[in-house]
Amino acid sequence: MHKLHDLVVAGKVVNPESIYDAQIGIDDGYITEIKKQGLRSERKVEATRGCLIFPGFIDMHAHLREDSSHKWDYKEDFRSGTAAALHGGITTVVDMPNTPLPGINSERIRKKRELARSKSKGLIDIFFYGGVMESNTDIDTNAIVDMQKEVVAYKIYMCETTGGLYIQKQMLSKAIKAIEATSKPVVIHCEDPEIIEKRKEELKEKGEERSRDYSELRPEEAELSAVKKVLSSVSASASASSSDTKIKINIAHVSVYGTLRILKRYKKGGFRCEVTPHHLFFSKRDALAKKAFLKMNPPLRTEENRLRLLEAFKKGETDFLVTDHAPHTKEEKALDISEAPAGVPNLDTYGNFVAWLIVRCGVHPKLISKVCSYNPAMFLGLSDRGRIEVGKRANLTILDLQERVKVSSEHLYTKCGWSPFEGYEFPGVVRHTVFNGMVVSEHDEVLSDLFRAF
């Protein structure tokens, strides 16, 4: 007598190294059996006719906005962020520390984790970054080390952001050394504040400080300079200790193709990089048309740069595809570009965008499995996910590449209620999101009975 599984998902499985037809047997939240056919269950999900089954997507760069101050809950909170992520096919999210009460110590991270657990209803995994600033890099205070049980990684900002989460370039080596003692990875926002400040003064002298072209204020040189400083600091730290650095470093939201050229020489040294949907899809020409609704840090670049970034992505030269989900209200984004906050929401449309990469851009599904699932899991030390194999958590993202959808604000779960992709048609949707063996979304809808509190 064959075993009766809790759930069987059947269709075309996509792992980083292979694509094959199979049935996936799931029990108690884990994958327990994979066979060509013959598996039995109480419930079966048939992912046929143009569908692909991926390991659950992992977004390792999101701003869910909520902390115990609740000052930014009107933009997003853990409940609405959970729904938006599941709608986008994301089963694991890592939340950034730059909230009104920045996540710079264990107590604050614990409070955020408790909030996330109560609001997400156990329908997604939400992990956290620990924020790094000059006051908590002192080895004597142990603030960085104390956070290591609460966070999956750390975040360094090289230019100012919310809550003063910013360290000067001369503090980089010290900060990296403090993180290295935890054996956790670090993500670094690379923009050189000196170059940005200098450009601001130059534009002011010309009377162009309110330029419509936001990329003028934060030029490509700011990113390239900061990346070089990170590499230099890490090299100096390694030389001082007479050993190669053991820390894994991810350069956040690469916006400049030149950054990839620099990093190519350092891939073996533990350096990784991520790219976002908005930097692969939009250019500064779009930003000029949509004004502050396409304002983000780092800003959009030229069309030529976008195409080069996209081509590099297709070749596997970037390691992660992240949302950098940073929601603000329509009212806030409608302000003058000099006053409006930076950032765009991306969780709801992540699966749609992945479908666009596969169908319209010719990105191989195996590469998607790698950059959206496997690579993030390995970087963050989440060995229980990232692949579809026996023993892993039953987190699955099923894309339907035959169903087109036009993005509409009426069909978004993010609390801010808008998308930079509104009005664009994508060649695919998230057919199902499965988290720990539970089907939490079906046919581009998050199951409402699971979210009665919404």
DSSP letter string over 392-432?
SB--EEEEETT--EE--GGG--STT---TTTT-EES-EEEE
Query: Which listed residue (77, 324, 400, 444) is catalytic?
Result: 324
Q: What are the C-alpha distances in Å from 280 to residues 68, 185, 323?
A: 34, 25, 11
Tokens 């408790």 belong to 114
Q: For residue 371, report the phi and psi dihedrals to the nearest 5 degrees.
A: -80, -20
- Name 267's Cβ contacts closer than 8 Å, sequence gap at least 6: none
For Cα atoms 356, 359, 361, give the angle at the middle one, nearest 5 degrees: 75
Query: Can you list the positions of beta strands (E) in 117-168?
Result: 125-132, 153-157
* Helix, strand and coil percent figures for the chain, each rounded to 5: 35, 25, 40
Paired with 68 in beta bridges are: none
Look at strands 425-426 and 405-406 and give their pairing. Answer: antiparallel
At CB < 8 A and 24+ separation, what contacts does 241-247 make?
244/269, 245/176, 245/180, 245/269, 245/270, 246/180, 246/183, 246/270, 247/176, 247/179, 247/180, 247/185, 247/186
Bridge partners of 77? none
The letter for the amino acid at 226 is: A
- Residue 389 tokens, joined: 């194999």
Distance CA 376, CA 358 (A): 19
Concerning whether 324 is annotated as a catalytic residue, the answer is yes
The span from the CA of 400 to the CA of 430, in Å, is: 6
DSSP string, 9-29: EEEEEEETTEEEEEEEEEETT
* 49 alpha-carbon distance from chain centroid: 29
> What is the maximal distance between C-alpha atoms in the chain?
81
Give dist(CA 353, CA 314) in Å, integer: 14
Whole-angstrom distance, CA of residue 9 vs CA of residue 24: 5
Tokens for 296, please give them: 């983000």
- Active site (catalytic) residues: 324
